[in-house]
Amino acid sequence: MTDEQWRTLVAKWSSAKNMSTMQAMMEEPVAEGEAPRTSAEVVAKVLSQESSNTTFLKNTGIESSSKKSEEIDALKKKVYVADEALSEIKRNFAEFKQHQDENNGFFDASMRYHGRQPIVF
């Protein structure tokens, strides 16, 4: 990219509207536990909202918000699948424990029937 192309690009995105939008985003309060937004993140967000062509953002290593949304959706799906698997494991464990308790009861009854003390586990 030439210096002239760069200046043209900067002038295009340095509009008063974009500047005020970015300033407002920088001044927004940050939720507890979250890191403050960097100027690069704010610029990337404004650029991705204003432009359907995010080649510039990709070239700078900044992902568009739609790409991040896709990643978030994929992660949410993975979490859902993992939660379902964990629930199934918990159900299986509870069922196994119930069967084990029943078997221990049968074993204790058998030991008493044969005149022996049940073994305490």
The pLDDT tens digits of the residues spanning 5-27 come to 778 777 777 778 878 888 888 88
Residue 11 in tokens: 């002038």
Residue 102 in tokens: 């029943």
Residue identified by tokens 């002239």 is 4
Final residue of a domain: which of 18, 47, 63?
A: 63
Amino acid in position 47 = L
Q: Is the dihedral of CA 73, 53, 19, 10 positive or negative?
A: positive
Q: Which one has a higher pLDDT value, 72 or 97?
A: 97
> Is 55 in the same domain as 88?
no
Q: How far apart are CA 26 and CA 37, in angstroms?
A: 7
User: Is the pLDDT reported for residue 94 higher than 90?
Assistant: yes
pTM score = 0.39
- How many other CB atoms sit within 10 Å of the CB of residue 117? 8
> Is 50 in the same domain as 89?
no
Number of domains into which the chain is organized: 2
